Amino acid sequence: MKLFTVGPVEMYEETRVVRGKQLPYFRTPEFSDMMLEADELLKKMISAQQGAKTIYLTASGTGAMEATIMNCFDEKDKILVINGGGFGARFVQICKVHNICCDEIKVGFEENITEEKLRLYAQGGYTGLLVNIHETSIGKIYPIEIISDFCKKNNLYLIVDAISSVFADEYDMQKYNIDATIFSSQKALSLAPGMSVVVLSPRIIEERVNKKIVRSMYFDFKDYIYNFQRGQTPFTPAVGVFIEFYNMIKYIQSIGIENKIEETRVRAMKFREKAQELGFEIPKFEKSNALTPILFEEKGKLVYSILKEKYGYIVTPSGGEFAERILRVGHIGNLNDEDGLQLLNAMRKVVDELK
């Protein structure tokens, strides 16, 4: 079996070895040192601002999305959500649950965010903007530069769900004035699920997080920030996933984050070239290096099932209106360029046999 998914993905041998070991007790100076060391490296890799702080949560990505909203906004805010798919819709849902007023910028399938589109919202009295920089449900990446400029000009906090993008695409908190970066262990880092991370800018900590009374004990970021001064979390962290994270971050540091991203970019590019050669259709919008959506006229799910049953290749169908029309192929995790090409050959055979 081989996973061409976005998370969990094919794990690296090194991660599997680390996973197989007895877990240590974690309220120790040794564990604290490990957390602090990994955290420093992480913040460098995503160019976090001087004074940025990280929250290590034991939750899936959605938990971190919700916790971020709860700690940064309330009923007095007015939020803009870029909604071009399933994960954009999730942000809208979270705002609704917490009674936070939000307006959606709907992005059509072929469309992308432009300056003109955003300008329509310039005078709306908004205080924050939420975006899933890579809308994983269809594989589209939004232009961070344009979004960042809009937020700067209109003084909005910029919250970025980068769960499936960070470590696969270039990412820079400082350059783009990002106030919160959210990601999880099971995507490009190729670790087990269970740990999600929020990196906060100094300004949002000072102006929002520190001042907010959060209606949750477990998800109150103030407590996490306080405890992390000594390299600890208020509650038991996903100890094993954290150790996997430590090892992965050290590995990425040893090869260089630019090289890690470049490797994924080249893999995606080779895959897309070959896909086109074989007559598959790929949407023209800007795509993340993490995944390639392939368009089908029909029977997408059947192709998915045959690939799984006959070849042991696991790709991901899309949801909703694209359930039969898109298969998503991940390029993250322990895959090489050849794996993707073999998948394409198999997919070509499956599709031809269905004709």
Ligand X SMILES: *Cc1c(COP(=O)(O)O)cnc(C)c1O
Residues near ligand X, by CB under 6 A: 7, 60-62, 87, 132, 136, 161, 163-164, 184
Q: In angstroms, give the least distance from the CB of 337 to ligand X.
A: 23
CB of 345 to ligand X, least distance (A): 27
Measured CA to CA in angstroms, residue 302 lies from 58, 306, 351, 353 at distances of 35, 6, 9, 12
309: its two tokens: 């049953």
In our burial notation (b when 16+ CB lie closer than 10 A, e otherwise), range 15-54 reads beebbeeeeeebeeeebbebbeebbeebbebbbbbeebbb
- The residue (of 63 and 202) whose beta carbon lies closer to ligand X is 63
CB nearer to ligand X: pick between 154 and 288: 288
Q: What are phi and psi of 5, to 5 degrees?
A: -105, -175
* Angle subtended at Cα 272 by Cα 268 and Cα 278, rounded to the nearest 5 degrees: 145
For residue 175, what is the DSSP state?
T
Shortest distance (Å) from residue 311 CB to ligand X: 25
Which positions ≥6 away from 220 have C-beta within 8 Å? 71, 214
Residue 81 C-beta: closest distance to ligand X, Å: 13
Cα–Cα distance between 16 and 206 in angstroms, integer?
Answer: 39
Nearer to ligand X, 148 or 184 (CB): 184
Question: Cβ closer to ligand X: 137 or 154?
Answer: 137
Least distance in angstroms from the C-beta of 201 to ligand X: 20
- What are the residues facing 159 on neighbouring strands? 130, 180
* Closest CB to ligand X among residues 184, 232: 184
Going from the C-alpha of 76 to that of each of 116, 145, 156, the distances in angstroms are: 27, 27, 14
Of residues 82 and 100, the one with the C-beta less far from ligand X = 82
DSSP 3-state of 247: helix
- Rounded to a whole number of angstroms, the minimum distance from the CB of residue 131 to ligand X is 10
